[in-house]
Amino acid sequence: MALTESEQMWSELGIDLASHGQLMNALGPIYRDIYLSQKNRPKGMGFYDFVVGDIHGIRVKELREHAKSGGKVVATYCVFVPEEFCWATGAIPVSLCAGTAFSIPAAEEVLPRNTCALIKSSFGFKLGRLCPYVQVSHLIVGETTCDGKKKMFELLAEHQPVYVMEVPNKRGPAGRALWQQEVRDFKAKIEELTGNRITAENLGEAIKKVNARRREFKRLSMLRAADPAPISGKDALLATQVSMYDDVERETQIMKTLNEELEERVKNGEGVFPRGAKRILVSGSPMAIPNWKLHHLIESAGAVVVGEESCTGSRFFNELAPEGITDLDEVVTALADRYLKTNCACFTPNCERLDDIIGMAKTLKADGVIHYNLQFCHTYANEAIQVDKALEKAGIPLLRIETDYSDEDAGQLKTRIDAFLETL
Q: Above 80 in pLDDT, residue 101?
A: yes
Q: How confident is the prediction for the chain on average, in pLDDT?
A: 97
Instruction: Identify the domain containing residue 64 by its residue range.
Output: 5-18+57-203
The whole-number pLDDT of residue 351 equals 97
CA distance 214 to 318: 7
Cross-strand bridge partners of residue 279: 304
Cβ atoms 356, 406 nearer than 8 A: no
Indicate the number of domains in the chain: 1
Cross-strand bridge partners of residue 368: 280
Residue 155 domain-assigned (yes or no): yes
Handedness of CA 394, 398, 403, 407 (dihedral sign): negative
Share of the chain above pLDDT 90, in %: 99
The whole-number pLDDT of residue 379 equals 95
- What is the CATH number for 153? 3.40.50.11890
Residue 173 domain-assigned (yes or no): yes
The whole-number pLDDT of residue 97 equals 81
Residue 93 domain-assigned (yes or no): yes
Among the listed residues 365, 357, 358, 383, the one whose alpha carbon sits nearest the alpha carbon of residue 424: 365
The whole-number pLDDT of residue 320 equals 98
Q: Find the mean pLDDT for residues 173-183.
A: 98
Which residues are within 8 A (CB) of 122 and not within 5 positions of it... i.e. 6 or more apart?
A: 77, 96, 97, 98, 103, 107, 152
Kindly report which listed range (17-21, 87-91, 95-99) carries the lowest average pLDDT score: 95-99
The whole-number pLDDT of residue 24 equals 96
Q: Find the mean pLDDT for residues 120-148.
A: 97
Residue 11 domain-assigned (yes or no): yes
Residue 420 domain-assigned (yes or no): no
The whole-number pLDDT of residue 1 equals 77
Q: Above 80 in pLDDT, residue 68?
A: yes
Collect contacts of 263-269 with beta carbons under 8 A, ≥24 apart.
263/223, 265/42, 265/226, 265/230, 265/231, 266/223, 266/226, 266/230, 269/228
Which residues are within 8 A (CB) of 267 and not within 5 positions of it... i.e. 6 or more apart?
A: none
Residue 302 domain-assigned (yes or no): no
Q: How confident is the model at residue 106 (pLDDT cuts 50, 70, 90)?
A: very high
The whole-number pLDDT of residue 272 equals 97
Q: What is the pTM of this model?
A: 0.97
